[in-house]
Amino acid sequence: MVGSNRSFGYDAAATFANFIATPSIWDAFAVRSVIPTIPVTQVATNDHVLVSLLSHLIYSATGSRSEVLYRFLPALAAGATVGLSTGALVRRFGLLAGICAGLYIATDPLFVDNSRDLRGYSLAALGSVAGTLLLPIHGEVSAKPTEGLPTEGLKQHVLPIHGEVSAKPTEGLRLIAYAVIMGLAMAAQLFVAVVLLCHVAWVVSERSWPRFRQLAPAWFVAALIGLGANAHIQVMEYTQHGLPPPVFYPTYPRDLVLFIIGAPVLLPVGLWLASAGLGLWTQRRAAWLWSSAAVIAVAVLVLWLGLRPAFLYPRFFIFLVPASAFLMAAAIKRWWVVAPVVLLGAVVAAVSQAPGYTEDPLALPAAAAAVEHIDASGRRACVIHSDEQVLSAYTSRFTVVTRPDELANCDAVVVVSWGVDLALRDQAAQEFPRLTTLPAYYPTVVLER
């Protein structure tokens, strides 16, 4: 929450304007265009449904537009992910290993950056961890299948992150909780479906068909919740051609590994990658590990070579951050000298990110103030088409221009992002030569005659 009063980022501002600060709670499901000049198909994939829905409830109850208020839920989910993961790893690998692995999660730049704004990634990570810990893939379906099985033999089949599971009346409640949590995690970020497929692969790799039949209803309910929450968005995008043309990113698999493990900060990448590699070696005989790797590899290949979406980011696989923490903890348990390596990476990662904690990603509040000042003075403030979807999170007292001839009706043009028509922006700069810069990571420019 440090610097949580800074401006919303681009995606968060678009989410807030289109799906949260609206008259109807159904807008959280991207059912219509809220901003007349922005088709809902253009922004629908930016809607993380669970976060939008919960935030809309907050907006409906309070009417608040405070960035701090809407960042609290993602930050809380991130902290809970760190705490829950650390607790589980301490129980499995010991205090030193668990704490070091938890510090990796808490300082990993990909995890930190995507947990500090109005996005659903931290809720997806929390649901993935909680669902995995609840998953009763081992233990007894009933008393009979384990009769005569030596206790030591049973222990060898327990997934390292779990404890022993026995057939108790509470197992039904556990399955319900698992199904609901995994479904909500997918509602927060659809890519959690990959985690659900990993869980299926774990059971298949164990050849435990009674357990598969027992878990199948929970998997179905989880998919029903998660896919149901996102169904309208996905169907609309594919049937109404709202997605941009496919793009091939040749380095995506490499980028995915590097960003999960510490990029763009160089030193933690080397330290953490080596630590996770050692942990992978310690778990090399585990069937669940290789079944998970196969599922993730197939998912990446389908996206990278098959679907080739125009927007394909490492953050979509943010659940691999706590998974990498498991590997680091396993390495520290085997070789304690890995602990200072992981800790050094955490320190360097935290220090390198600290300067940006309070920096505005966009100058949206200052831009909104400039727009309202221009409007209050009786002049017309304009924004170039597509900027309205983010500036609307702060003000609506502007006119949208889409063509060069419309600039003649403006007294000032405010450019807040990189997502506008660059030719039109350059034309505006020629017609409005007086420039004022509003500072941010990506600064706003106010162009006047």
Given a cut of 80, is residue 168 above it in pLDDT? no
What local confidence, expressed as pLDDT, does residue 87 receive? 97
DSSP annotation of 168 reads -
Among 26, 51, 31, smallest CA distance to 41 is for 31
d(CA 151, CA 188): 40
Q: Which residues contact 6 (CB under 8 A, 6 or more apart)?
A: 67, 358, 359, 360, 361
- Written as six digits, the tokens of 224 are 């029903």
d(CA 438, CA 361): 12
Asked if 77 and 50 touch (Cβ cutoff 8 Å), the reply is no
What local confidence, expressed as pLDDT, does residue 241 receive? 67
What local confidence, expressed as pLDDT, does residue 137 receive? 57
What local confidence, expressed as pLDDT, does residue 163 receive? 42
Q: CA separation (Å) from 77 to 118, 128, 191, 222?
A: 12, 11, 17, 19
What local confidence, expressed as pLDDT, does residue 242 receive? 67
- Written as six digits, the tokens of 246 are 């496919």
What is the DSSP annotation of 32-71?
S-SSTTS-HHHHGGG--HHHHHHHHHHHHHH----HHHHH
What is the DSSP annotation of 196-258?
HHHHHHHHHHHT-HHHHHHHHHHHHHHHHHHHHHHHHHHHHHHHTT-SPPP---TTHHHHHHH
Beta bridge partners of 444: 438
Grade residue 171 by pLDDT with cuts at 50, 70 and 90. Answer: confident
d(CA 81, CA 115): 10
What local confidence, expressed as pLDDT, does residue 207 receive? 84
Q: Which residues contact 228 (CB under 8 A, 6 or more apart)?
A: none
d(CA 362, CA 319): 27
Beta bridge partners of 448: 412, 434
Average pLDDT of 243-253? 91
Given a cut of 60, is residue 154 above it in pLDDT? no
Q: Which residues contact 234 (CB under 8 A, 6 or more apart)?
A: 190
What is the DSSP annotation of 293-308?
HHHHHHHHHIIIIII-
Among 345, 311, 319, 317, smallest CA distance to 331 is for 345
DSSP annotation of 401 reads E
DSSP annotation of 287 reads H
Asked if 184 and 53 touch (Cβ cutoff 8 Å), the reply is no
Given a cut of 60, is residue 159 above it in pLDDT? no
- Written as six digits, the tokens of 126 are 């929390």
Average pLDDT of 210-229? 95
Q: Which residue has the tokens 């809970």?
A: 80
Average pLDDT of 187-207? 94
Given a cut of 50, is residue 379 above it in pLDDT? yes
Residue 137, phi then psi, degrees to nearest 5: -80, -10
Give the 3-state secondary structure of 423-445: HHHHHHHHHCCEEEEECCCECEE
Determine what percent of the chain is predicted with pLDDT higher than 90: 86
What local confidence, expressed as pLDDT, does residue 170 receive? 83
Q: Which residues contact 354 (CB under 8 A, 6 or more apart)?
A: none
What local confidence, expressed as pLDDT, does residue 141 receive? 34
What local confidence, expressed as pLDDT, does residue 165 receive? 41
Given the DSSP bridges, would you call strands 412-415 and 444-448 parallel, antiparallel or unpaired? Answer: antiparallel
Query: What does pTM read for this prediction?
Result: 0.91
Given a cut of 80, is residue 281 above it in pLDDT? yes
Given a cut of 70, is residue 144 above it in pLDDT? no
Given the DSSP bridges, would you call strands 434-438 and 399-401 parallel, antiparallel or unpaired? Answer: unpaired
Given a cut of 60, is residue 158 above it in pLDDT? no
Given a cut of 80, is residue 161 above it in pLDDT? no
Residue 412, phi then psi, degrees to nearest 5: -155, 150
Length, in residues, of the chain: 449
Given a cut of 60, is residue 258 above it in pLDDT? yes
Asked if 186 and 226 touch (Cβ cutoff 8 Å), the reply is yes
Q: Which residues contact 347 (CB under 8 A, 6 or more apart)?
A: 107
What local confidence, expressed as pLDDT, does residue 236 receive? 87
Q: What 3-state class would DSSP assign to 165?
A: coil
Grade residue 164 by pLDDT with cuts at 50, 70 and 90. Answer: very low
User: What proportions of the chain, in percent to the nearest 5, are helix, strand and coil?
Assistant: 65, 5, 30
Neighbours of 133 (CB within 10 A): 16
- Residue 239 amino acid letter: T
Beta bridge partners of 436: 446
Average pLDDT of 182-189? 98
Could you report the per-residue pLDDT of 326-358, keeping only the tens digit for each? 999 999 999 999 999 999 999 999 999 999 999
Mean pLDDT score across all residues of the chain: 91
Residue 433, phi then psi, degrees to nearest 5: -75, -15
What local confidence, expressed as pLDDT, does residue 235 receive? 86
Handedness of CA 81, 85, 87, 88 (dihedral sign): positive
